[in-house]
Structure 1
């Protein structure tokens, strides 16, 4: 072999090594090494006979005080949602005649009665439900339990939120962890402090966690695109890194159900025309809910094992940031719902259901119990609606607004 060929081969080896090094640095910079293997090993959703039912859930890290703004700015943020969300949602309907549902995960540390009164008003009019969000740091188990228990009772008594367990009477709630740090999952231990947080949440009445996906944060789990039970190891953090998939004929195992949204790679939107962007189910001005993203969420096909004809799409946002509200309450959101209702609600190949986080959990539990057919029947399978929300029973065409029929014991609580 002559010297020229040897030099050329060495050059190719060096270039390949440099490329691998750069690619690995890019992967590490976005913490993709945590979950990329799971993504590459993913299996396609099994083929189904008949229509695919699409459960579409929009959860919101709803933080009126984001950025430590003054009270007047907080009021303007909440007032815009109170005014504009019904105007947007009333133009859309799913297969069951319901408008889009918004799950407001409200932070305990930002509680102000006047803000929750207005959000409860939206829920009383049939546009969503209130759940629990929490930012905390260096916390203790006793303080955490006291904080969550007090907030649960306050939300229920004052604002008609949260359901009681039919058997025990305990208040049940969905949870999103602030700063993504569920179960002390940051390497530096910040923004939590509790290695046994999953156990504590279960004991407090949490029915499921909706924090994930959190990529590109280091808090992202190895398990992706899944609905599973996580078992807590109180001696170590991030016990929800893996778990036992929820499956038809199975039963609750471990400490807490983890309901994830779609996570993957978007090769159509590349960084510097080379590296794919991370599709992490986040909706905001910088990543609007385009039809292409909706199609990707559907293709991900998150489902209960053994029930592939029911798929669950959970997307998320931080709804009170001014730069994003035109996206969340304006034309981009109309485009998303128009696409869902046109392409994924034809009645033969797809059937669309707008659900709250509680309803999504109920339908998951119905699938686990072996229920079949139209999942609309199982919106209240295990947990009944909170006392302050409207039960939508009869279909309405898009563009018409129903006079709210508030269930007993609740309603708008403005004083």
Structure 2
């Protein structure tokens, strides 16, 4: 065998070894689920050419869990009180193009209900700083229990705390949803932390207008569909029916069982492990991954949008707001700087226009885009679903502020 043949064999072996290492790295973070979709999107992405300003809808959703790690009542109260105090201070100095402060969507866990905590958060929302939605952790659940739990919680949130709005067409209460442990539609590979293969159908029937769980990477619950807004159709015989679906598009209509609103997901090449391996950018905000200006730019650049309306960009980021290790980041200088960067870089009125939006407003603006509306999305914050009772006072304050 000649030297060239040995070189060729060695090259093949090196290539195989490298491929194996890459595959192991991907599998270690469950990236094999979505990396193909990410690479295809990167290769097919065309430069955005538009003579219209790009409207950036910034939505912060929070897995808000005062009882995290089995905290005692004193700790729970301290967590909620800090949010109600410090978030007002933080948000009150920031405004979007419409004169509104940042809007925080508190997805509160059904299984952690405590009237005094919800009263405080509802008051914060009534002051114009956000809205309440539904979060749920469950395991090995049954359809009957799920229906009863969600229905009861919707009624409680609405009647006792002024949260959730009624669908004008049906009169039923409507809610946005985040699944605890990321396991929407029984999507974890071992079947834990859900138990319902027909969860999308159940959510639709119970009044859920959209799911805001994703992205969930590096969890194996992450879907292969990424950076998208789409309708998923449930297959009650199989889990993870939202792995793919039909993209929401201009001129379309609701197709399937549930709208899935995803946040940005990709690779962060600026922050690499050992200087080599890119970290996953999954729009999570906490102490270990603060909301830097570079991350904000990446989120906007991802360009999540309704097909046919690329000049309306949706940036949905998430957190677990009541964990002490992260609250200094979420309620302090890092998040203050994030909003300052958004207002400086994405609110010049010519190239970009910034809108702070709640989860409900995201849904309304998506539906407006689907219906063919264009121009200023601020006009469509309440396009389908009206504000909940708790935000009427805040809306009145915003209107008076804008008029002034």
- For the criterion TM > 0.5, the same-fold answer is yes
Instruction: Indicate conservation of the 8 Å contact 1:199/1:255, yes or no.
Output: yes
Equivalent position SS for 2:26? helix
> For 2:274 and 2:383, how far apart are their aligned partners in 1?
47
Corresponding position of 1:13: 12
Taking the TM superposition and a 5 Å limit, the aligned residue runs for 1:265-304 are: 265-304=267-306
TM-score by length of 2: 0.96
1:47 shift after superposition: 2.2
CA offsets per residue over residues 17-40 of structure 1, 9 Å max, x none? 221111100001111111111101
Equivalent position SS for 2:269? strand
Corresponding position of 2:40: 41
Further displaced range: 36-45 or 118-127: 36-45
> For 1:143 and 1:19, how far apart are their aligned partners in 2?
49
> For 1:47 and 1:236, how far apart are their aligned partners in 2?
41
TM-score by length of 1: 0.94
Superposition RMSD on alpha carbons, in Å?
1.3
From 85, 88, 111, give the equivalent of 1:86: 88
CA offsets per residue over residues 173-226 of structure 1, 9 Å max, x none? 000000000000011110000000000000000000000000000000010000
Instruction: Indicate conservation of the 8 Å contact 1:353/1:376, yes or no.
Output: yes
> For 1:211 and 1:355, how far apart are their aligned partners in 2?
17
1:396 shift after superposition: 5.8
Corresponding position of 1:336: 338
Corresponding position of 2:29: 30
From 302, 325, 328, give the equivalent of 1:326: 328
Equivalent position SS for 1:126? helix
Unmatched 5+ stretches in structure 1 = 403-415
> For 2:117 and 2:233, how far apart are their aligned partners in 1?
35
1:268 shift after superposition: 0.7
> For 2:183 and 2:131, how far apart are their aligned partners in 1?
23
Q: How many residues align?
A: 397
Instruction: Indicate conservation of the 8 Å contact 1:155/1:161, yes or no.
Output: yes
Instruction: Indicate conservation of the 8 Å contact 1:54/1:352, yes or no.
Output: yes
Taking the TM superposition and a 5 Å limit, the aligned residue runs for 1:123-162 are: 123-162=125-164
Equivalent position SS for 1:262? coil
CA offsets per residue over residues 79-108 of structure 1, 9 Å max, x none? 100110000001100000000000000000
Equivalent position SS for 2:271? strand
> For 2:39 and 2:58, how far apart are their aligned partners in 1?
25
Equivalent position SS for 1:137? coil
> For 1:13 and 1:304, how far apart are their aligned partners in 2?
44
Corresponding position of 1:231: 233
Instruction: Indicate conservation of the 8 Å contact 1:47/1:308, yes or no.
Output: no
Instruction: Indicate conservation of the 8 Å contact 1:141/1:194, yes or no.
Output: yes
Instruction: Indicate conservation of the 8 Å contact 1:96/1:395, yes or no.
Output: no
CA offsets per residue over residues 340-364 of structure 1, 9 Å max, x none? 0000000000000000000000000
Equivalent position SS for 2:56? strand
Corresponding position of 1:213: 215
Equivalent position SS for 1:119? helix
Equivalent position SS for 1:393? helix
> For 2:372 and 2:344, how far apart are their aligned partners in 1?
30
Which consecutive segments of 4 or more residues in structure 1 shift more than 4 A? 394-397
Equivalent position SS for 1:145? helix
Unmatched 5+ stretches in structure 2 = none
Taking the TM superposition and a 5 Å limit, the aligned residue runs for 1:103-182 are: 103-182=105-184
Question: 1 or 2, which has the higher helix percentage?
Answer: 2
> For 1:394 and 1:121, how far apart are their aligned partners in 2?
19
Corresponding position of 1:313: 315
